[in-house]
Amino acid sequence: MSYDNNNIFAKILRGEIPCKKIYEDEFVLSFFDINPQKKIHALVIPKGKYIDLDDFNNKASKEEIIGLMKGITTVAKKLGISINNKGDGYRTLTNIGNHGGQEVPHLHFHIFGGEKVGRMVQ
Ligand code: AMP
């Protein structure tokens, strides 16, 4: 499968569709999920064209991988839910492919918090 340049997150990255931005740097963009599943529901996406986590880990540079991982922590800090900054914690996850329940084919990490997130898998 090749990367779909017209997926919704690609359009957000190009500025063609608005988002409620939380954070941006050279490696990542973070914004609030349009259909929040918890009190806080943010997304963190790499700026590069990667379909999912496997695609990313196979092709991304070390700098991009570090940038995305650190981006998640930076966003959690900004949202006040990072344990290191006296927050109450959060869950981060990424869905991969059909069985993983991935809807948007651009890698994204969900960040859930602001309340108890609940069972890991329902
Ligand atoms: P996934 O099922 O892991 O692919 O998650 C895709 C997520 O993207 C869902 O939680 C959607 O609510 C979210 N989403 C879809 N379109 C937008 C958008 N335009 N802005 C913010 N979040 C979006």
pLDDT in tens, 39-77: 999 999 999 999 999 999 999 999 999 999 999 999 999
Contact 40, 81 (CB under 8 A): yes
Substitution site in 17, 104, 110 for ligand 1 pocket (most atoms within 8 Å of beta carbon): 104
Q: CA 75 → CA 8, 23, 107, distances in Å?
A: 21, 7, 16
Does some domain include residue 119?
no
Two tokens at 64? 């991009």
pTM value is 0.98
- Specify the number of domains making up the chain: 1
Amino acid at 43: L
pLDDT above 90: residue 114: yes
Examine the residue annotation and report whether 41 is marked as an active-site residue of this protein.
no
Beta bridge partners of 31: 21, 43
Does 1 map to a domain? no
Nearest CA-CA partner of 67 in 108, 26, 30: 26
Range of the domain at 80: 8-113
Domain at 88, CATH number = 3.30.428.10
- Residue 3 counted as domain residue: no
What percentage of the chain reaches a pLDDT higher than 70? 100
For residue 84, being part of any structural domain is answered with: yes
pLDDT at 122: 78
Q: Is 96 in the pocket of ligand 1 (CB under 6 A)?
A: no
| Residue 95 belongs to a domain | yes
**Residue with token string 């859930």:** 112
Cα–Cα distance measured from residue 76 to residue 70, given in angstroms and rounded to the nearest whole number: 10
